[in-house]
Structure 1
Amino acid sequence: MIVRNYTLKQLQTFIEVAREKSVSRAAERLFVTQPAVSMQIRQLEEAFGLALIEPVGRNIQLTNAGQEFLVHAIAALGKLKDLEASMAEHVGAKKGRIELGIVSTAKYFVPMLLVRFNKLLPGIDIALRIDNRDNILGMLQRNELDLVIMGRAPANIDCEATPFASNPLGIVAPPEHPLVRRKRMPFDIVKDHPFVVREHGSGTRAAMERLFEQYEIPIKIAMEMPSNETIKQAVMAGMGLSFLSMRTVRHELASGHIALLDISGMPIVGKWYVTHLSQKKLSPAAQSFKKFLVEQAEPLIDSWA
């Protein structure tokens, strides 16, 4: 049997390059330089004597060997995570590492929760991944994440989703918008007004589409944007209305830079869930963080300014 000289870091780097289809974007994700990513890939290719990636225009494409390598690399990392979870039981809940994925909207309160959790259990390291819902679900399904925080439990993945906080969503507008002064408006009043919306794959976009389908109203889209921060700036500039989590705009609402429309039946109140694969054996560290969210997160989020 030939022993190949390659490292866990090289496997992780390769998976990131494959996912992003770009060395530069992978470097940003991994918080390293582009030459460092290129070197890791080159060393991995040298270890196996195969080309795993090839440039196509400005992007990266996997070779046939690279596609097969990706399947086995993801499976190998999943097995290593299971190994770490099993060994962590011998250490206890005070030490360990958690791979945590969160949807973009959760970034407005999760860092605060991580600071509080770190004060309770400083020996636990948390690696945080932030992305839209579709991408986070893909990572969960591939067993790349221990826990996921999202606003709607996945329907097509065998997982355990536990609610830990409320997630109110409403329609916001620039403060000078004519609808801001009106009270208890019917929902269909927004049908002729343009909306700035999140991209397809976002949980907020999916929730918005379900709501408009419920009222049988088409969404008049002014622009589609990939981040809540950009959307807030667009709303403040008068580009249109938007449908957002109240957790996202709490500071703008308090300062008067954005206004919440008074629409009957809104805000709608969903839930935030902490989710993991049903068959996954959670480490004591992951169990501790899940317990912390369920028992302490909501009052911390509500009181956080």
Structure 2
Amino acid sequence: MVNFNLNQLYTFYLVVSLKSFSKAAQALSVTEPAVSIQIRGLEESLGCQLLTRVKKSFNLTEAGRLVFDYAEKIYGLVSDLNSEIKKITGDSKETLTVGTTKYLASVLFPPLLSAFLKHSPGVSIRIEEGSSMNIVDGLVQGNYEIAITGRIPYPKNLLQKVEFTSVTIYPVASPKGRLSNKVLEISDLNEEPLIVRDRYSAIRFNTITKMSDCKINPKVIIESGSTDLIKELVKQNRGYSFLPWAAISKEIEKKELVILNVNNLHLDFPVDILYLKDLKLSSVAEKFINFLMSKKKPSLEETISNLHDSDH
């Protein structure tokens, strides 16, 4: 069975529909290299080339034409499905289902749910976890009403975005590593062994996009969906990685990991609230989003602190 995600397919669909990588990037609010990464990921998953570049344009291969034909049918059906669901659901939902990443579920949702349920007793909430791209796919497929995830390309014609807060990720290495205890330039990371999250992760997507923007060719040696495994490998000096503060704070305090001192490298990305444009939100979903926005702060760490304070 072919394994790919709908987010990659939508990026391809948009590039072909708009006849432009740059216009697709603008529509998705991402960089052009980020669009190229999505297309390459889809080609790798399908095992065939979909586009051939010709100067500033491109041509579809035979496989590309076939994939685009099916993409048109898929997104037409998704639109029809959203319209039909809207007719039968209205505000009748009593349980709110939220899709989010494993990282956000572990650091944001404990104080968030505690504070929200105190604010709105009697509400039933179900949390479903996955990687960022799989969460977006699940939202499009109607698996949950709201998604909270790191910024990645998403189908703007189907989903409404509300920017919530932001996550900063840090370059980390073993204290024994040759990059540690030095003042580095971004170019010093070129060809250094990099351990990254899996390809469906917002952390992975934003890390690779930033490095591509800086003309850095990352030498990815290991990718994993497990943050704990990544940290252990970095501790063993197998390579360096990029991880958020909440995932590394204990290891930094114990001096098991160090944050690399890289000039002019600041890597953060938004955390978005997403929901289907054509589906009327339930009253509990609207209440949940309003509560989130009332507690938002510029960074995830500040937002979490604010939620803890409001719960006391």
TM-score by length of 1: 0.66
Per-residue deviation, residues 96-124 of structure 1 (Å, max 9, x unmatched)? 31110012332232322122212222211
2:265 & 2:294 partners in 1: Cα distance? Answer: 27
Per-residue deviation, residues 137-171 of structure 1 (Å, max 9, x unmatched)? 11111122111111115442432211221211221
2:109 & 2:154 partners in 1: Cα distance? Answer: 27
Q: Does 1:87 align with 2:86?
A: no
2:100 is matched with which residue: 99, 102, 114? 102
1:241 & 1:223 partners in 2: Cα distance? Answer: 10
1:188: which partner in 2? 187
2:86 & 2:226 partners in 1: Cα distance? Answer: 30
Shift >3 Å, 4+ stretches: 75-85, 297-300
2:232 & 2:220 partners in 1: Cα distance? Answer: 16
Do the aligned partners of residues 107 and 230 (structure 1) sit closer, same or farther apart at CA in structure 2, a change above 3 Å counting? farther
**1:260 partner letter:** I
Alignment of 1:104-253 (within 5 A): 104-112=102-110, 113-152=112-151, 154-158=153-157, 159-183=159-183, 185-253=184-252
Alignment of 1:18-37 (within 5 A): none
SS in 1 for 2:263: coil
Asked if the contact 2:86/2:279 (under 8 Å) is kept, the reply is: no
Asked if the contact 2:97/2:146 (under 8 Å) is kept, the reply is: yes
**1:173 partner letter:** A
Per-residue deviation, residues 48-82 of structure 1 (Å, max 9, x unmatched)? xxxxxxxxxxxxxxxxxxxxxxxx9xx98996687
**2:229 partner letter:** T
2:153 & 2:123 partners in 1: Cα distance? Answer: 27
1:236 & 1:84 partners in 2: Cα distance? Answer: 50
How many residues align? The count is 228
**2:92 partner letter:** M
5+ long unaligned stretches in structure 2: 4-76
Deviation at 1:83, TM superposition (A): 4.3
SS in 1 for 2:239: coil
Asked if the contact 2:197/2:226 (under 8 Å) is kept, the reply is: yes
**2:214 partner letter:** Y
Deviation at 1:265, TM superposition (A): 2.5
SS in 1 for 2:180: helix
Per-residue deviation, residues 210-263 of structure 1 (Å, max 9, x unmatched)? 112112222112211122222122212222100122343233333332221111
Higher-Rg structure is 1
Do the aligned partners of residues 169 and 258 (structure 1) sit closer, same or farther apart at CA in structure 2, a change above 3 Å counting? same
1:111 & 1:98 partners in 2: Cα distance? Answer: 14
**How large is the Cα RMSD of the aligned pairs?**
3.0
**2:304 partner letter:** I
1:100 & 1:78 partners in 2: Cα distance? Answer: 21
Q: Does 1:295 align with 2:300?
A: no
TM-score by length of 2: 0.65
1:238 & 1:82 partners in 2: Cα distance? Answer: 56
Asked if the contact 2:133/2:152 (under 8 Å) is kept, the reply is: no
**1:86 partner letter:** D
SS in 1 for 2:134: helix
1:114 & 1:79 partners in 2: Cα distance? Answer: 31
